[in-house]
Amino acid sequence: MEKCRLLLFLTVISSVFRLLHATSGDADPIYIACVGHCKETGCVGEKCFQHCNFSSGKNPNPIDGPWYLQEPLYLRWKQWDCLSDCRYHCTLAREEERQKLGLKPIKYHGKWPFHRVYGIQEPVSVALSALNLAIQFHGWVSFFILVNYKLPFGPNKKPYYEYTGLWHIYAILSMNSWIWSAVSHSRDVELSEKLDYSSVVALIGYSLLVAILRTFNVRHESSRVMVAAPIVAFVTTHILYLNFYQLDDGLNTKVCVAMTMLQFILWAVWAGFTRHPSRWKLWLVVAGGVLSTLLKIYDFPPYMGYVDADALWHAISIPLTYLWWSFVRDDSEFGTTTLIKKAK
């Protein structure tokens, strides 16, 4: 039975690596003409942008213009300049034309067309990222209270559970990742995109390390260092490549999916052979994680201009995160009880 489950799981994993690519709309001559016209006139159809008058070659600094023509502070902070507004409204106009012709949405400059809300580029993903951050914080605090105030300490005045420190670091990296996810979905300038990618890679790489250490029950510090060294070196190299050589979204997706699937396999196999009382929670997290990863890769256009595959991935992550921290708490209780019995 366990072999059948594992075979089915590996079959699903193999389908994950078939990445889909959408056509780029920024090569559309009509779109290019629209953006060029907008930069010259400051208008897309009947909609005009006053700050475009100060973004032209005559006066490239909109802050030098009269106060009533300057961009609002919240827009200036997000760097919505004349070119960004031209691209945004030309994208919406072109997609409206394509929809009337019965054509499917396409990407522009590597991004699906979204509808802004108060200057926020992807409002649904931002809200869901904030919810994930809150769930991560709640899970970490509940784990912290459990191991420091409810479970007994060992003779060295430290928790019996030997993976406490690892989970604290995991929580910090997770919360950092969701913070930059919210920022990046709010406005994906180059800096926010690099910080988002880097924090996600660091989290996934560290999660893989924790999966190896826990499933193989690596306890000695020297052994942990030997396991961590190649993973840290690989993750660091990849982050440096993204930040200082090329921000390659396709390569980054493959690297993240590979590391994610590897840790899913480790947890799934371990859950199949261990007698851990909460192994069913692991099965649910792994199954949900594979489903959310498939959504992340499938990458369909946003429904009504707001909800895309990435937003659904964020939504699925909320209950999975709650369930994951529930397993971590159960594992700390199980590990503490086991070590106390051995000490007696």
Those residues with Cβ within 8 angstroms of residue 319's Cβ, 6 or more apart along the chain or in another chain: 288
pTM summary value? 0.84
Amino acid 156: pLDDT: 82
Amino acid 56: pLDDT: 46
- The upper half-sphere exposure of residue 294, i.e. CA atoms within 13 Å in the direction of its Cβ, equals 11
Amino acid 21: pLDDT: 41
Amino acid 60: pLDDT: 43
Question: For residue range 217-230, what is the model confidence (pLDDT) as tens digits?
Answer: 998 999 999 999 99
φ and ψ at 24, to 5 degrees? Answer: -85, 125
Amino acid 70: pLDDT: 55
Amino acid 278: pLDDT: 93
Per cent of the chain over pLDDT 90 is 50
Amino acid 62: pLDDT: 44
Amino acid 16: pLDDT: 41
CATH of 2-22+120-343, picked from 1.20.1260, 1.10.3470, 1.20.1070, 1.20.1690, is: 1.20.1070
Those residues with Cβ within 8 angstroms of residue 83's Cβ, 6 or more apart along the chain or in another chain: 35, 39, 55
Burial track 15-42 (b if 16+ CB lie within 10 A, e otherwise): ebeeeeebeebbebeebeebbeebbeeb
Low-confidence ranges of the chain (pLDDT < 50): 6, 12-23, 54-64
- Contacts made by residues 124-130, CB under 8 angstroms, sequence distance 24+: 124/306, 124/307, 124/311, 125/181, 125/185, 125/308, 125/310, 125/311, 125/314, 126/182, 126/185, 126/186, 128/311, 128/314, 128/315, 128/317, 128/318, 129/178, 129/181, 129/182, 129/185, 129/314, 130/178, 130/182
Question: For residue range 24-61, what is the model confidence (pLDDT) as tens digits?
Answer: 777 888 888 898 888 888 888 888 877 676 444 444 44
Q: Where in the chain is the domain with CATH 1.20.1070?
A: 2-22+120-343
Amino acid 102: pLDDT: 85
Amino acid 279: pLDDT: 93
Question: For residue range 224-271, what is the model confidence (pLDDT) as tens digits?
Answer: 999 999 999 999 999 999 999 998 888 998 999 999 999 999 999 999
